[in-house]
């Protein structure tokens, strides 16, 4: 029985071997499309972190996530739209400047899309 891309990636990562961009992309695609189990997702992420991420691995994962991202097409006419993101929930009780920036930009007449990452 052949292994899935995420299974192959897990085994390779546990051997402290780097994934190619294509391998990371294929594994992340299985994660993003729901083909991987929760246990496989946890093992993949833990093994990747323990080995240490490479540029190729980050690139492959990012490409797969980008292909699966939901495109939002707001009906705002010709008005410019400003995208403001805040991490929030960092646990440091710091001031969330991104929310304040969203209010300032909206007050200047721009449409604002505010979200977390």
Distance (Å, whole) CA 24 – CA 28? 6
For the chain, domain boundaries: 5-68, 81-116
Report phi then psi at 35, rounded to 5. Answer: -75, -25
List, in sequence order, every residue forming a beta bridge with 48; answer none if it has no partner.
Answer: none
Fold assignment, 5-68: 1.20.970
Please state, for a pLDDT cut of 90, what percent of the chain lies above it: 62
pLDDT in tens, 81-107: 888 887 666 677 777 788 888 999 999
pTM over 0.75: no
CB atoms under 10 Å from CB of 4, counted, come to 15
Inform me whether the pLDDT recorded for 48 exceeds 70: yes
Share of the chain above pLDDT 70, in %: 96
């Amino acid at each position: 029985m052949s292994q899935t891309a995420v299974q192959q990636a897990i085994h390779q990562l546990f051997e402290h071997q780097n994934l190619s961009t294509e391998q990371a992309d294929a594994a992340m695609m299985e994660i993003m499309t729901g083909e991987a189990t929760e246990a496989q997702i946890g093992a993949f992420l833990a093994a990747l972190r323990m080995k240490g991420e490479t540029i190729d691995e980050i690139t492959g994962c990012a490409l797969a996530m980008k292909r699966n991202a939901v495109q939002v097409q707001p009906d705002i006419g010709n008005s410019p739209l400003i995208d403001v993101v805040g991490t929030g929930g960092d646990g440091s009780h710091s001031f969330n400047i991104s929310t304040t920036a969203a209010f300032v930009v909206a007050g200047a007449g721009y449409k604002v899309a505010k979200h977390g990452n």
